[in-house]
Amino acid sequence: MLSVLSDEIGFEPVQSVTSPILSFPGLEIKLYQRRVLRDGEDISLTRLEYGTLAYLASSPGRVFTQEQIFEAVWDMNSDSCHSSVVNVICNLRKKIELDSKNPAYIKTLLGVGYKFGMERSGG
């Protein structure tokens, strides 16, 4: 009886869907530790900054609207998300970009949203 039950349930080992570390040139995001390193130096981020960065960096090149970012990171309805997302993106750029006026990591697509513009390295 036990073998029949285990066949029906289909036990399979659990595998992580994403890597615990997202590595990009000059930037490393340690997901399991909730740490961000810029050129090896720890960067202090708020919960919302970290969540936004991890969300964007998990899908490099994919464009996300402000509403998508807000709903995923804030875990709330996106009725009034515009200024919240813009402020967090601005603060993130000041902390992780070499030149926040000419960002290498977080790109703006005017009228559409944001994307993480750097491809993953190594790993």
In this model, does residue 22 exceed pLDDT 70?
yes
In this model, does residue 119 exceed pLDDT 90?
no
DSSP secondary structure string for all residues of 30-92: ETTTTEEEETTEEE---HHHHHHHHHHHTSTT-EE-HHHHHHHHT-S--TT-HHHHHHHHHHH
Position 17 scores a pLDDT of 52
On average, the pLDDT of the chain sits at 84
Question: Cβ distance 106 to 117 under 8 Å?
Answer: yes
Question: Cβ distance 4 to 16 under 8 Å?
Answer: no
In this model, does residue 3 exceed pLDDT 60?
no
| Reported confidence tier of residue 76, pLDDT bands at 50, 70, 90 | confident
Rounded distance between C-alpha atoms, residue 84 and residue 109, angstroms:
17
Better pLDDT: 104 or 79? 104
In this model, does residue 115 exceed pLDDT 50?
yes
Position 105 scores a pLDDT of 96
| Reported confidence tier of residue 6, pLDDT bands at 50, 70, 90 | very low
**86 CB-near residues (< 8 Å, 6+ apart):** 66
For residues 74-97, average pLDDT: 85
Rounded distance between C-alpha atoms, residue 123 and residue 121, angstroms:
7
